Amino acid sequence: MNCEKKVGILGSGSWGTALIKMISENSNELLWYVRDEDQAKKIIETKRNPKYLKNLNLNIGKVYISSKIEQIIKKSEIIIIAIPSPYIHNTLINFKTILKNKIIFSGSKGVVPESHLVISEHLNKFFDIPYQSLGILSGPTHAEEIAANKLSYLTICSKNKNICDFLSKKLTSSYIKTSISDDIVGIEYAATLKNIYSILVGISLGQKYGDNFISVLISHCTKEMIKFIKSIDKIKRDFSHSAYIGDLLVTTYSTHSRNRTFGKMIGEGLTVFDAISKMSMIVEGYYATKNAYEISKKNQESFHIIDTAYEILYNNKNAIDEIKKLSKKLD
């Protein structure tokens, strides 16, 4: 693949900003869609994002920034989506025609509410993007740690190895180690499920459960994640890889995790609605819970932790009672 392929980042949240930091270190030209025009102007003026990762100095000299998404899409050959999953469909649907000839990677993790599909499935089904032109970026990578140059591991996943090799060169640095995979289904579902499990861990922490219980809960989350992925795609895969278990661990243990924070507020007594209202960022595990629950019922499978999350988040069941019930099913 030509090393001069133009990469465009869609989204200016913490992950979009982290992607700009990483790729600009290995690129002469980069394109960035920043939806808010005032935010875009501030970034250009100060070389910092005024809303996310505010202390991070960006190499803006290499970056073309625009609030006109069509312009960024047209100029880009490879597009990386860093828009929260609930907004992806409505943001992109008017540009379906010009997206067809692009290589599209998702840097977002979660489910598209319009279809209840993970992002790659949604882009394939509703935007007619062939899987050979699709990919995902995943792994235990909190944007806050990337901004601080803390060693992180990122998995680049696509059926097209040439694209993976290209992006690996663009993303690898002294603090970013990359690996390549073609398991789009397994890795994307792992990245989706871990947000559900992080909410349950947060709820438990909010109810003052200790490390002993949390460790058992996460152990069962690991087993359930493996069982769920095998139920939808039975290919052989190494679940010990960082894109599966590693991503689950960082999301359930880290205070950077928005899903864990959301769950903790519910555990401390807030309603689901009030907890969502207090979050400054999208809680993708909330939407993922409905997706995973519906898949499990369609496949006539039983997943105790997913069921518990669904009862609390969608059926307004008492969180204290539901965690107690769940605790009796763990060993």
Give ∠ CA 154-156-162 in degrees, rounded to 5.
145
Q: Give me the pLDDT at residue 299, please.
A: 87
Asked if pLDDT for residue 1 goes beyond 50, the answer is no
CA-based diameter of the chain, in Å? 57
Closest CA to 19 of 32, 37, 1: 32
Kindly report the pTM of this predicted structure. 0.92
Q: Give me the pLDDT at residue 3, please.
A: 59
- Point out the least confidently predicted range of 2-6, 257-261, 326-330: 2-6
Asked if pLDDT for residue 308 goes beyond 80, the answer is yes
Question: Residue 328 burial by CB count (10 A; 0-12/13-18/19+): exposed, middle or buried?
Answer: exposed
Question: What is the arithmetic mean of pLDDT over 301-305?
Answer: 94
Distance CA 113, CA 122 (A): 10
- Point out the least confidently predicted range of 2-6, 10-14, 188-192: 2-6
- Order across the sheet with 152-158: list the strands: 63-66, 30-33, 7-10, 78-81, 103-106, 134-138, 152-158, 176-181
Phi first, then psi: give them for residue 258, nearest 5 degrees: -70, -35
The predicted-structure confidence for 274-297, as pLDDT tens digits, reads as follows 999 999 888 999 999 998 999 999
Q: Give me the pLDDT at residue 193, please.
A: 96
Q: Give me the pLDDT at residue 148, please.
A: 97
Domains of the chain listed by start with CATH number? 7-182 (3.40.50.720), 185-327 (1.10.1040.10)
Q: Give me the pLDDT at residue 319, please.
A: 97
Closest CA to 207 of 87, 328, 89, 322: 322
What would the two tokens of residue 215 be? Answer: 């460790």
Query: Which alpha helices (H) appear in the chain, and where do they start and end?
Result: 14-24, 37-46, 69-75, 85-92, 96-99, 119-126, 143-147, 161-171, 184-206, 211-232, 247-253, 258-267, 272-278, 284-298, 304-314, 319-327
Asked if pLDDT for residue 226 goes beyond 60, the answer is yes
Asked if pLDDT for residue 119 goes beyond 50, the answer is yes
Pick 2 or 139 by higher pLDDT. Answer: 139
Asked if pLDDT for residue 266 goes beyond 80, the answer is yes
- Point out the least confidently predicted range of 77-86, 113-122, 146-155: 113-122
The predicted-structure confidence for 44-85, as pLDDT tens digits, reads as follows 999 999 999 999 999 999 999 999 999 999 999 999 999 999
Q: Give me the pLDDT at residue 127, please.
A: 97
Q: Give me the pLDDT at residue 141, please.
A: 93
